[in-house]
Amino acid sequence: MADQSHQAAALPLPARAPRRVNLNWLGVAPFLLFTLLFLIFPIFYLVDGAFRTPEGAFTLDNMIALTGPDIWPSYWLSIRLSFTSALLGALFGSLLAWAIHLGGLPGWVKRAFLTFAGVASNFAGVPLAFAFIATLGRLGLVTLILRDVFGLHIYAQGFNLFSFWGLAITYLYFQLPLMMLMMMPAMEGLRSEWREAAESLGASAGQFWRMVALPVLTPSVLGCFLLLFANAFGTLATVYALTSANFPVVPIVLFQQIRGNVLYNPNLGYALAFGMVIIMAFSNTFYFLLRNRAERWRR
């Protein structure tokens, strides 16, 4: 027995197979690097700057200043503008998605609508501002047609492109098609079996939409509304190009604090950006919660 155990101990151990390096993460490495460099690290940087003085000492004055009479009206203006444009975009975008999905349009018309929506939802900034000035400005094409052909002076009636409602209408150019694109999958998720079951039970078309379709679509509509709100809240280039920084929404005030010649307080600008991040975080968090709830029905 001792010789057998000695011989067994003398036998060489089997060689281990070399461990294979998992290379699956290399595909997402550029995205992770981009996220760290342009999202995570900047957030930590501005959070640190929001609680610092220009000399580097810790302070709460920058955050307290956000509630002051010079800053809070800008937040309230941005919230009202974002809410209005998101509400109108969610309403008309949902109706447009419903019409395209159930309107019996030819396939090429539907594809053309979706293609245009994909382009229009990303059309913003200086080109969008110039397009609306050339269309609805005081000497814009539509303004002159309404005045010379129909005798309707929209500016004499109180309309102003460079006002709250003018900006809200301008925002609709990219908010409405974005809502339509996001609602199309939810519309396509309405199963024909649900309608057939409702009809077999004697429900009318109105009852089906009121008691089945709308409860199913509501989480998607609310989630997309929050995404539109966040999209409008962070818009800078369109407002700046359209109003020449005379409309004090939060991005304009932030721009003036960091790059302006008169208002220059970078640490207050960091606090303004931090407040925007908090609002965006709440909007996107509720959006993901509502989206997950909506996806349960599509499963």
* Ordered per-residue pLDDT tens for the chain, 299 residues: 555 555 545 555 555 656 676 777 778 888 889 989 988 898 899 899 999 988 889 999 999 999 888 889 999 999 999 999 999 999 999 999 988 887 777 888 888 888 989 888 888 888 999 999 999 998 899 999 999 999 899 998 888 998 899 999 999 999 999 999 999 888 888 887 888 888 888 888 888 888 888 888 888 899 899 999 999 998 888 998 888 778 889 988 888 887 765 567 888 889 999 999 999 888 888 888 887 877 776 66
pTM: predicted TM-score of the whole model, two decimal places = 0.84
CA angle 151, 154, 155 (to 5 degrees): 125
* Distance in angstroms (rounded) separating the CA atoms of residues 120 and 114: 10
Q: 50-65: buried (b, 16+ CB within 10 Å) or exposed (e) per residue?
A: bbbeeeeeebeebeeb
**CA distance linking residue 147 with residue 137, whole number of Å:** 12
Walk me through the domains of the chain, giving residue ranges and CATH numbers.
Answer: 83-249+282-298 (1.10.3720.10)
H-helix or E-strand spanning residue 274: helix 266-298
Spatial CB neighbours of 153, under 8 Å, sequence gap ≥ 6: 146, 147
